[in-house]
Amino acid sequence: MPGTGPKYFPCVLCNKRTKPRERRKITKPEIRFLQKHFFVSVKHEHDTLCNACRHKYYASDRKSTDSKSEEGADDNYCPTPKRPRSSSVLTSPPSVSLCIPSTSKSHSHCFLCKHPGPKMVVVPPNARFRVFLNCEIIIPAGSRCCPNHLDDGQFKTDVWSKIKANKTSLLNRSTILDLLKRLRTVAFHNSYRIDFDLANLTESDYLNLTGICKDAFSELCASLKDVWNTPVRSTRTSLGIFLFKLKSGLSNKMLSTIFNISKSSLRRAIASVRQSLVCSFVPQNLGLQHISREEVIDKHTRSLAHTLFGSSRNTEAVLVLDGTYIYIQKSNNFQFQRRSYSLHKGRPLVKAMVVVTTTGYFLTTIGPYLADGKNIDAAILTHMFKTNVQDRKNWVREEDIFVLDRGFRDAISLLEDLGIRAEIPCFMKRGEKQLSTEDANLSRLVTKVGWIVKSANARIKRWKYFDKVLPTNQVPYIGDLIRIVCAISNKFLPPLSGDREDDVAIASKMLYLSRQVNTLKERVETENLDTRKSTIWKEATTVVDFPRLSEERLRELTCGTYQLRLSKSYIQEHLDGNHDIFVHQEDPHLLKVKLQSRHVSAKSHLLWISYTEADITAWYCRCKTGARVVGVCAHIAAILWYLGYGRFMYSADERVGVRDWSSFVEDATNVPEEIDQSDSDESIVEE
């Protein structure tokens, strides 16, 4: 009769609304099947199954019939028991209520931002499981969201906080079983390996394991191409393995144990990530073509370098070059063994040429090169220009400035022919033991800018993979790995040295001092203060009237911080009462100090300091660079630090410098005197 039947005919299994042509009476075999496997009973004569569930039932019933017929054909055949396929292809209706928050489910709009369709995607099962694992929120199967919320099948990091859920969730049997299996898999993997797919790794964990922060790791992972998820590792895990190997330097055998992955799969992951980064990431962050000259001059050149070496136009690019050594094992190929052996280091290695700006930004890296006498720094620089590596001739222009060390001296003529200005430390002339004041001052201007490339090389060696002796089978990949590390440093790490407000003032002061003479040196040589009898000097236990210096004033005197960092270690040997500090009897404001060398036990440095009650007026040391007035050497800096600052900051019983470990190590020279055995022998005979 009209009006007596229900107007809504849901499927008894999936609860989906059925269409009129699907409304057929459920057969008795279907009723028994639903009761046996899903505990669903047909209670109403209008109950029906949708076509999807009905077809799945037919497919399952057909397969079970085929298997029974095969068993009947051969009585000796006993198949391996398997999980019923019907439970995997059919889903039960939601009937279990759990006190777990659940999101809303809708096919017409995004469950996150409520944006309407039609361009919606179904949330992947892995993404739904990650939300449950990390946020304890269940996203119903079939929920849809906007495509921009997902990245490589997972929710983006900024989406997690936007997920809103209800108080309870209604689940079916299949969902609960799938959830338990996934939890078991995660628990099994986490008990044996580091998983970069989970959110349980903290920011410090990412820094310790990969060398970059969590957001940088995700951004780097997004740049990977042709690196796919596999059953044993995802894209994030492959990238984590690659960075962890570079950061720790561990062998593949150790990494295989840590990540619970076979060595063959580990090698494939490292190779695929390396190839992808070289093709997609490195060209965007390293090389002469990834950045313009104007950007290098404006953003990556310190004002101090422009003031010291540049012109008033500031149109010159100031670049710092140096080689870095990567040690390798001795090869069984004798020709390669000879060509890769460095007489300078006394071991086999390959050399990569690093070009950085004055802020420590890696402009490019070339190589690696062999290490024999034909591949010195000057030869490598000549090769770079004559082969026009990375179209270098069009990038580097006339009047550009190269800050180099003494190993490039044979390439200076080439740079001059190209119109490039080379700034290099001065050399001592034959027979001299000390640089002149002028040469020492000019060398200090060069080292004030050139130190940055040493720090850049040290940043590369912080990735312990490059700080170890590499096997020869890794030689083909050393260049790619160095370029990847340099590109990561440019993209994600802070600059080694930034532009400071007082850079121009410091550079102007250093230029002014570089034109001055060392008056105290002239006095020492004129009055023979280093050779006259010691009657004009008296030992000083304390220097009462020495001016007290602040840290800022010490940095002004030294024109840097490197010398101050060595001061504590130099002074530590002279705190036993033998200060070796002498005062001139006629000029009480003139000190002579004898300071032990840190390299050679039989060598000591003699230095003089002139001062007033207010400030330091002059200094001179007999070391190679001690005649300069642009800053001071480390020996003078140690005395200035102790007399003007350190002795006021430390008590008498407080240790200055680092701990002395010699008491924990045996000394072969410490042999007791031999005991005279004559008395003991006579006593034995008499007895």
The mean pLDDT of 218-236, rounded to a whole number, is 86
Residue 94's CB is within 10 A of a number of other CB atoms, namely 15
User: What span, in angstroms and rounded, lies between the C-alpha atoms of 625 and 637?
Assistant: 13
pLDDT in tens, 138-192: 888 878 888 888 877 778 877 777 787 776 777 777 777 778 887 777 666 655 5
- Cβ–Cβ < 8 Å for 282, 482: no
pLDDT in tens, 493-541: 999 988 888 888 899 999 999 999 999 999 998 888 887 666 788 887 7
pLDDT in tens, 393-422: 788 888 889 999 999 999 999 999 889 999
Confidence of residue 684 (pLDDT cuts 50, 70, 90): very low
The secondary structure of residue 17, as a DSSP letter, is B
pLDDT of residue 350: 95
Amino acid, single-letter form, for residue 591: L
Q: Is pLDDT of 39 > 50? A: yes
Helices 475-492 & 263-280, crossing angle to 10 degrees? 60
Predicted TM-score (pTM) of this structure: 0.71
Least confident window among 4-18, 66-80, 427-441, 598-612: 66-80
The mean pLDDT of 35-46, rounded to a whole number, is 72
Confidence of residue 61 (pLDDT cuts 50, 70, 90): low
Average pLDDT, the chain: 83
- Cβ–Cβ < 8 Å for 64, 32: no
Domains of the chain, by residue range, sit at 1-71, 94-187, 192-280, 285-492, 517-656
φ, ψ for residue 22, nearest 5 deg: -95, -5
Residue count of the chain: 687
CATH numeric code, 285-492? 3.30.420.10
Highest mean pLDDT among 81-95, 198-212, 428-442: 428-442
- Grouping H, G, I as helix, E, B as strand and the rest as coil, residue 56 is helix
Q: Is pLDDT of 379 > 90? A: yes
User: What span, in angstroms and rounded, lies between the C-alpha atoms of 341 and 373?
Assistant: 9
Highest mean pLDDT among 350-364, 585-599, 661-675: 350-364
**CA neighbor of 166 nearest in space, from 99, 95, 94, 101:** 101
- Taking 3-state DSSP, the helix, strand and coil percentages for the chain, each rounded to the nearest 5, stand at 45, 15, 40
Q: Is the peptide bond before 118 cis (omega within 30 degrees of 0)?
A: yes
- Give the DSSP per-residue string, 574-595: T-SS---EEEESS-TTEEEEEE
User: What span, in angstroms and rounded, lies between the C-alpha atoms of 210 and 246?
Assistant: 8
Confidence of residue 440 (pLDDT cuts 50, 70, 90): very high
Of 3 and 19, the structure prediction assigns the larger pLDDT to: 19
Confidence of residue 75 (pLDDT cuts 50, 70, 90): very low
pLDDT of residue 355: 94
pLDDT of residue 500: 84
User: What span, in angstroms and rounded, lies between the C-alpha atoms of 650 and 654?
Assistant: 6
pLDDT in tens, 262-312: 899 999 999 999 999 999 999 999 999 899 899 999 899 999 998 999 877
Q: Is pLDDT of 82 > 50? A: no
User: What span, in angstroms and rounded, lies between the C-alpha atoms of 595 and 607?
Assistant: 8
Integer-rounded Cα radius of gyration of the chain: 38
User: What span, in angstroms and rounded, lies between the C-alpha atoms of 590 and 393?
Assistant: 55
**620 - beta bridge partners?**
608
Q: Is pLDDT of 71 > 50? A: no
pLDDT of residue 579: 58
pLDDT in tens, 325-357: 999 999 999 999 999 999 989 999 999 999 999
Q: Is pLDDT of 479 > 70? A: yes
